[in-house]
Structure 1
C-alpha cells in the first residue's frame, strides 16, 4: 500500500482561517492555498498506509480523553534566524495544545516521533519567503486578534500535489465535532509545499 504523509492539527475556524490564509498568500507564500490555517499537533510524518486504522483508533482515544478549551490568537512572533517562519502567537490555549500534542505522539501509540524543535504552538503566516515579505507579515499582523472555543482536532494527509486534505475530525469527549465557528474550506486545485 505504500506510505502516506500525515499531520494532526487544530483548524483555525472561519472567518479567521480564510483571512489568515489569504494574508499568507498575499505575502508571497506559494504554499498558502494548499495548507488550511492551523495549529500543528503533529508535523508532517511518514506512515505506512496500512497503519491508518490504528492511527485513527489512537486519535479517537486521544480526543475522547480531551475537553474543549478556549483558544486566543494575539500578535506575531518569529522563529528567525533558526527557521524562516513568521507566525501569529497562541496567547491562550497553548498549554492545552502542548498536552494534546504529547498525547498524539505518546510512546504507546503509532505516531511516536522526535521533534526537530521544542514544541511551540503557533499559526504560521509566512514560511521560507523573502526577508522583506517576512518583515511585512510580522508588522502587518502584529495587532491581529482572534478567539474561539476549540472542540476538536483533525487528521490530514498530504496529497501528491502537495495539498493537505482533512481525512477525519476528532471531537473532544467522544461526541460529534460541533465547531463554534464554521470550518475553513480547503482549495484543492492549488499546488503547495511542506506545510508546518
Structure 2
C-alpha cells in the first residue's frame, strides 16, 4: 500500500516530467508554469504549478471577460511552531488541483482579478502555531489580483486552507502568496 508521502513524491515526479518535457507544451497540456512563495502565521510555503487555460469566455463586455484555468500544483510547507512550540518544525508536502476563474482583458494582458476553490492532499495533518487541521484532505480557496505583461504574469493572492468543517479541529491555515508565472 502506498503512503501519502509516496503518493505525493510520485505525483511530483510525474508533474515535473510533464512540465519539463517539450512535448507537453506542444500538446497543450500546460499553457504556463508558475513558482509561488507564501507566508502565514509561523509557516512558509513554496509551490510549483502548471496551468491549463480555458478557451471559454463568459460575460464579454467592454474588452474584458470572465474565463479561467485549471491549476495543478505541488507545494512544500514549513511550519516553525509545530504543536505550538516556537522553533519546532513541521514539513508538509501538498498536491492540489484547482479550477480558477479570472476576470481579465480580452487581450489577456494587463490587470486581472481571480478566485478559485480546489482540492488539496497534505502529507501530514497540519499542527502549527495553535492552528490545526484534522484531515489530510483540504479545500484551498484563494482570491487574488495581478498583472500580465507579455509572457509573464505576476500576482498576489490570499489563500485559505480548511476541510470545510467536516471534522474538528479545523482552525484553517492562511497564506499571503506571491506568484510569478510564464506562459509558453
Q: If the length of structure 1 is used for normalisation, what is the TM-score?
A: 0.25
- Give the structure with the higher percent helix: 1
More contact order relative to length (CA 8 Å, sep ≥ 6):
1
Q: If the length of structure 2 is used for normalisation, what is the TM-score?
A: 0.27
Q: Which has the larger radius of gyration?
A: 2
